[in-house]
Amino acid sequence: MLSALQARGSSQRRRSPYSDKQYYQEYILQRIEGYKNSIGRDELLRLGDEAAAELHSAAEGQFLLTEVLMLESVDRLIMKRLSLRPYSRWRRQFLKLREAQRTPTHWGFEPTSPIARLLPRLEPEDVALVIGIGAEPATYLLAAYDAVVTFLAGDLGCVERVESRMAAEALGYMFEGYVAQTGPCLPEFVDFPRDLDLVVLDPGALLDLGTNCRMNFVADLQRRSAPGALHVVLPCCPSLAPESLLAYYEGWTIEDGAGRRRRRSGGGRRPDGVVLSSPPCPAHTEVRRSSAS
């Protein structure tokens, strides 16, 4: 995740964007794995037998039949069965699709919303956590920008819907969805490749928590966040305004404050939400360093 200053500057990004070839390989892999998961064990074994027969016939048995060769042969058979598009034809359609997916209005966000304004600061494989049913659209938009997205909600139907749409939109290759109720901290089974770069929170996910539990949950999110990480609190819940969580963010910087004040003074329009930036070196990082020394 780039800082606002880095995003405005001309410095080179730390991580290169994905190439079209990488996207195509992910597309092929997802379709193959999806097909394997959709068929029964007997059919999968028949595919293996067919692949083994083809390999023996092609090389007249003059090779060692390894597991890797078998897997590659099965994958080729599945590609034929699914009539997967060649790269050139896939690329023409993919570029149009991804352009639409990267447009905030495609997912219901205004171009001036906090999520839309933060997009130039995203880098490939930034680690994002999206919490709550009301924050669902952010999951798709961040995934379209190649973020590693984890979605957490207490409703099974919502998580299944997100998983299904992520697969249908070819966005699910770096996505995990979990059904879990919020509590004093994130569930232990929710894991991330490294510290969080971005958290998008529907405050409605905290509505049933007591004040102390709510404070502890936000503190846990902060502990898991990288220096300079961003937390976006969306205005999804009429009963719990984003500003009500500011007391839990001591030491964090409120971003876009001027823009939010102009929006409020404009009369009657719903606020966009709150964007907070963690300190460059959070207190819990200093504690870890002191302990290590």
pTM over 0.85: no
Q: Where in the chain is the domain with CATH 3.40.50.150?
A: 109-292
Distance of CA 102 to the CA centre of its chain: 13
Q: Poorest-confidence range of 86-100, 120-134, 260-274?
A: 260-274
Q: Which of 3.40.50.150, 3.90.1170.50, 3.40.50.620, 3.40.718.10 would CATH assign to domain 109-292?
A: 3.40.50.150
The tokens describing 286, both together, are 């200093």
- Comparing 55 with 240, the larger pLDDT belongs to 240
The tokens describing 124, both together, are 């490939």
Q: b vs e for 238-263, b when ≥16 Cβ sit within 10 Å of the residue's Cβ?
A: eebebeebeebbeebeebbeeebeee
The percentage of residues in the chain with a pLDDT greater than 70, rounded to a whole number, is 84
Model pLDDT, residue 288: 43
The confidence band for 33, taking pLDDT boundaries of 50, 70 and 90, is confident
The answer to whether 192 touches 222, Cβ cutoff 8 Å, is no
The confidence band for 259, taking pLDDT boundaries of 50, 70 and 90, is very low
Q: Poorest-confidence range of 132-136, 161-165, 200-204, 284-288?
A: 284-288
Q: First CA to last CA across the chain, in angstroms?
A: 28
Most confident listed range (44-53, 90-99, 119-128): 119-128
> Which residues touch 11 (CB under 8 Å, ≥6 apart)?
none
Amino acid (one-letter) located at 287: V
The tokens describing 8, both together, are 């405005």
On the question of pLDDT at 282 being above 60, the answer is: no
On the question of pLDDT at 281 being above 80, the answer is: no
d(CA 146, CA 151): 15
On the question of pLDDT at 293 being above 70, the answer is: no
Most confident listed range (48-57, 70-79, 152-161, 248-257): 152-161
Q: Poorest-confidence range of 49-58, 83-92, 96-105, 271-280?
A: 49-58
On the question of pLDDT at 255 being above 80, the answer is: yes
Over residues 171-194, the pLDDT tens digits come to 888 899 999 989 999 998 998 989
Dump strand ranges (E) for 140-283: 148-153, 175-179, 196-201, 225-233, 253-255, 274-277
On the question of pLDDT at 55 being above 50, the answer is: yes
Dump strand ranges (E) for 104-183: 127-131, 148-153, 175-179
Across 129-133, average pLDDT: 96
d(CA 149, CA 139): 7
